[in-house]
Structure 1
Amino acid sequence: MVLLHGTRVHATRRGTALTTTAHPIRTYDRRSGAESLGPHPGTDGLVLTGLDGHLGPPEDHRGTVLLHDGRRLLGSCRGFTRILPPGRSDPPIVLRGLSPGAELRRALATATRRTLDLGEAALEVRDDRGEPFAELLMWVTVSSWCPSALGSGSGSGLIDLELEGKLSVPVPEHARPLWERWLAGRPQTPGTWAALDTRQRWAWLDHVLSRPRPGTGVDRPAGQAYELDGRPVTDVPGLYLALGEAVNGPGGYFGANLDALHDCLGGGFGHSGPGTLLWHDSAVAREHLSHALTPDGRPYDLFGAALEVLAESRMRVTLA
């Protein structure tokens, strides 16, 4: 079995080479990577599985298909067929020791089908320090409730509430240790993510991107000087994690792609231009990010593109 963990796998149709004739067909979601299940019985085909959030293959395509992970060619095949998995059935979620607010108490007191349908609800999670950790959206209905054993007595008012419906996507298994680490509080030292592999770095970046940021919108005065530790910038998520920490400290966010980086440089994310950035060990990023592949298989220089975005937004970069 071949495992492609930590990769974002792309398929492109090809004329004769991985050139400008390539067009996007399929992209596997980076957060799960893709896994080979081995040969398809009775054929010379290979079955890959992964989460798909992008384009399916064109039905009229009968040519060669190339697979790559954003950095290197992984292989080619004569065809690519999309197979949809069966629908996922969400188990109920139980909130134990819940102190219901006035609106929920009224809904439970009425207990009609209409009032128990909560529609869109947000589950706000806080870390061990009481700081915002995550906000998970759900579309749920109350299925049952009862007094909670976590209460100090029958008059505590705490309940166990069971909800059914469309819940947030569960945390991937490979991301659970990272969540446990974040639940202890935001990192206090830079580079906590540096030892992670690419797959886990994407999960770390996903959390940095999605976690509530109470200070968003408050920028430091123009003219700030930042320093970036370039030693761990060996992949795409590492680039954005390092930029986030350079500007906003350990666990900080400052873009998760080039468009988002441009938006952050425009203000509202802790920085207001102009500014300066001293990029230590920049040769590491140049080596690993200068020869990337777009989803449709075109070569591009991510390192150079990031420098252009920074320069266009009045961030003067010194490479060291």
Structure 2
Amino acid sequence: MSIPLRWQLSDVVTGEPVTECMEIDGLFADRVFPVEPVHERYTLLDCAPSGPLRAAIDGDGPAWLANVVAAGAHVPGRPIAERCPPDCYDCYRIGEEMLDVRVVGYRPAPGGAGRFDIDLEGHRRDEDHNAGGTVAPDVAGYRLSMWGDGTGAETPLGECRVVDGLFRERPEVWPPGPPVTLRGCRPGLIGHLELHWAHVRVDGTVHRPAWESRIFGKVVATGPSAFGDGLVDVTLDGPVSVPLAANEREIWDVWRAGGPDGPNRWAGLDRSGRYLWVRAAAFHRVPTPDRPAGTVYHLDGRHVTDYDGFFCAIGEAINGPGGWFGGDLFWLHENAATGDGGATPGFTLVWHDSEVARTHLVAGYDRKSWQEAVTFDELVAVLGRDGVRVELR
């Protein structure tokens, strides 16, 4: 049996396969995941600080404030304190979040009255509101709060009139890549194309992404391909809409060849690689019926030194090498409590060498997810609440 070409391309409207090719130049961007954020400078203008923010400028507390949320009210024209009570969340639906924030300077505000202009350093969460963060909302001011400091609580920080530097144009996190070339392609592509790509294993199994996967552009060149007689290289004048990360390529190569050939093939990866391993496992998952109720699963905990390592390990414990059983707390809950992840709810999980995770998964701030770290005890508690009998060894 001949080995199928690696990528299948389908029409975005009809869903019908259009062609196959061996490589897609431009699909794997020359970036790594996660994208390291650019730290920015913000200024809270005319700010009345309270709580940890007040302590930071007084020198009575740390300058680091974890994540800061600036929530603006819908009704402009009156001071925040006069508009609605502190617990009125309906008035504060416009919110922007600044991550890993540190106070780097302050001075009295021109208006006086105990108010300050306070300089912060941090970075903005990309998926926030207001035209992608470029347009300041029509509000009279912002209520400030802090979370992510390991306490599990949201702490008031006071209020300010303006957050200068937060609402502006920024470079794209994933800038458009180069024009695409389909290498080793079946001939016959002409004109303007809008295609979805899918990954094909050597056994012919086709995996289609759940996220945006368009390739679009006009055919501008066609020529013989080095991949074999009868195949061509087709160059378009447009890019891949959402490229994959450069450090995903070698992981996807594992699934292209049929999947991991044994357990713990992810163990030597760093935290980012482990995240991408779980993503590849989810993408290439072939759903099977849940195993019978009462099944006992064994989790090899020797390499669970970080959050993403836990999901690599539990995926393999439930579904074998390269298996997936969630990649975050939401999907862990869905799979454990409701099934369809490979195990009938109410199963037993024997966690071997659990002390490794207990030592490494501790409270703090996670600079990969930019929020409070998920601890070993929290993972055990989540599993327990979802009916999993966890045996720690």
Q: Structure 1-normalised TM-score?
A: 0.66
User: Which of 160, 180, 186 is residue 99 of structure 1 equivalent to?
Assistant: 186
Counterparts of residues 305-320 of structure 1 (less than 5 Å): 305-320=378-393
Residue 41 of structure 1 aligns with which residue? none
Moved more, 248-257 or 138-147: 138-147
Measured at CA, do residues 8 and 90 of structure 1 come closer, stay the same or move farther in structure 2, by a change above 3 Å? closer
User: Which of 239, 253, 256 is residue 324 of structure 2 equivalent to?
Assistant: 253
Residue 292 of structure 1 aligns with which residue? 364
Deviation at 1:276, TM superposition (A): 0.5
Deviation at 1:46, TM superposition (A): 11
Q: Deviations over 1:144-187 (max 9, x none)?
A: 3536345876xx4x443333435144343344443344443311
Contact 2:184 2:227 in 1 (8 A): yes
How far apart in 1 are the matches of 2:121 and 2:372? 27
Identity of aligned residues (%): 30
Q: Name structure 2 gaps, 5 residues minimum.
A: 1-32, 45-51, 56-60, 70-95, 101-118, 151-163
Measured at CA, do residues 305 and 249 of structure 1 come closer, stay the same or move farther in structure 2, by a change above 3 Å? same
Moved more, 287-296 or 302-311: 287-296
Q: Which amino acid is the alignment partner of residue 236 of structure 1?
A: Y
Residue 143 of structure 1 aligns with which residue? 219
Residue 261 of structure 2 aligns with which residue? 188
Contact 1:26 1:54 in 2 (8 A): no
* 2:367 counterpart of 1:281: no
Contact 1:94 1:162 in 2 (8 A): yes
How far apart in 2 are the matches of 1:260 and 1:151? 40
Residue 263 of structure 1 aligns with which residue? 334
How far apart in 2 are the matches of 1:251 and 1:54? 33
How far apart in 1 are the matches of 2:370 and 2:186? 53
Q: Name structure 1 gaps, 5 residues minimum.
A: 29-44, 70-78
How far apart in 1 are the matches of 2:35 and 2:360? 14
Q: Deviations over 1:187-237 (max 9, x none)?
A: 12111111222122222222223x2323x1522222211001112111111
- The SS at the match of 2:327 is coil
Counterparts of residues 1-320 of structure 1 (less than 5 Å): 15=53, 16=55, 23=69, 25-27=97-99, 52-53=126-127, 84-85=170-171, 88-99=175-186, 108=190, 111=191, 116-118=192-194, 121-132=195-206, 135=209, 137-146=213-222, 148-149=224-225, 156=230, 158-209=231-282, 211-214=283-286, 216=287, 218-265=289-336, 266-293=338-365, 302-320=375-393
Moved more, 304-313 or 184-193: 304-313
How far apart in 2 are the matches of 1:284 and 1:208? 23
Measured at CA, do residues 212 and 58 of structure 1 come closer, stay the same or move farther in structure 2, by a change above 3 Å? same
Aligned residue pairs: how many?
275
Q: Deviations over 1:75-97 (max 9, x none)?
A: xxxx9757612683431212233
Measured at CA, do residues 88 and 57 of structure 1 come closer, stay the same or move farther in structure 2, by a change above 3 Å? closer
How far apart in 2 are the matches of 1:7 and 1:281? 32
Deviation at 1:241, TM superposition (A): 1.0
CA-based RMSD: 4.6
Measured at CA, do residues 26 and 47 of structure 1 come closer, stay the same or move farther in structure 2, by a change above 3 Å? closer
- The SS at the match of 1:309 is helix
How far apart in 2 are the matches of 1:213 and 1:307? 25
How far apart in 1 are the matches of 2:376 and 2:134? 30
Contact 2:217 2:236 in 1 (8 A): yes
Q: Structure 2-normalised TM-score?
A: 0.56
Q: Deviations over 1:97-140 (max 9, x none)?
A: 3226xxxx5x84xx4xxxx242xx22122244544466471141
Q: Which amino acid is the alignment partner of residue 144 of structure 1?
A: V
Q: Which amino acid is the alignment partner of residue 178 of structure 2?
A: P
Deviation at 1:272, TM superposition (A): 1.3
Measured at CA, do residues 46 and 174 of structure 1 come closer, stay the same or move farther in structure 2, by a change above 3 Å? farther
Q: Which amino acid is the alignment partner of residue 219 of structure 2?
A: S
How far apart in 2 are the matches of 1:125 and 1:21? 38
- The SS at the match of 2:264 is coil
Measured at CA, do residues 282 and 83 of structure 1 come closer, stay the same or move farther in structure 2, by a change above 3 Å? farther
How far apart in 2 are the matches of 1:99 and 1:57? 43
Contact 2:220 2:235 in 1 (8 A): yes
Q: Which amino acid is the alignment partner of residue 124 of structure 1?
A: A
